[in-house]
Amino acid sequence: MKYLTWPIFEKWRDIGLLIVRVGLGLMMIGHGWPKLLAPERWEGLGGAMSHLGVPFFPSFWGGAAAVSEVLGGALVALGLFTRPAAALVAFTMFVAWWSHVSGGDPFRSWSHSAETGLGFLLILFLGAGRFGIDTLLRKR
């Protein structure tokens, strides 16, 4: 029965976390980079905060979301300040998800932000793993 749980993968846990961390981090950089380079889009992007009762400074919130995606994605990929960076990106994805859901958008419109947010939430709980810069800094 124990072989049904594939115990052999226990020794590869940190490799799996590294793959997920780098993959999600690079994906987030790819999504955030065009937003970061287009400040004219920040007001519309930051308008999503109004769905959470924060209707003021939409350009600020839009720029913050773009920075969160790029910088947070890079930090998670590197495993540096992993948990705070993952929390920031997870919150950004929560705002995107809530904006879609509260706007009545269908599943296909909001599922990407929900799935990505859950991935970063998982990294928030698991941390960088053995192959992150956080681990190297902690050993000093």
Residue 26 has pLDDT above 90, yes or no: yes
The end-to-end CA distance of the chain, in Å, is 41
Output the six-digit token pair for 33. 């980079």
The CB-side HSE value for 84 (13 A sphere, CA atoms) comes to: 5
Cβ(64)–Cβ(47) below 8 Å = no
The sign of the CA dihedral 30, 33, 38, 44 is positive
Confidence bin at 34 (pLDDT 50/70/90):
very high
**Maximum pairwise Cα distance, the chain:** 58
Residue 7 has pLDDT above 90, yes or no: no
Cβ(87)–Cβ(126) below 8 Å = no
In this predicted model, what pLDDT tens digit does every residue of 105-133 receive, in sequence order? 999 999 999 999 999 999 999 999 999 99
d(CA 25, CA 120): 9
Report the Cα 135 to chain-centroid distance in Å.
20
Mean pLDDT in the chain? 94
d(CA 136, CA 127): 13
Cβ(22)–Cβ(16) below 8 Å = no
Which pLDDT score, from 0 to 100, does residue 88 have?
A: 98
Model pTM?
0.91
d(CA 98, CA 53): 12
Domain boundaries, the chain: 12-139
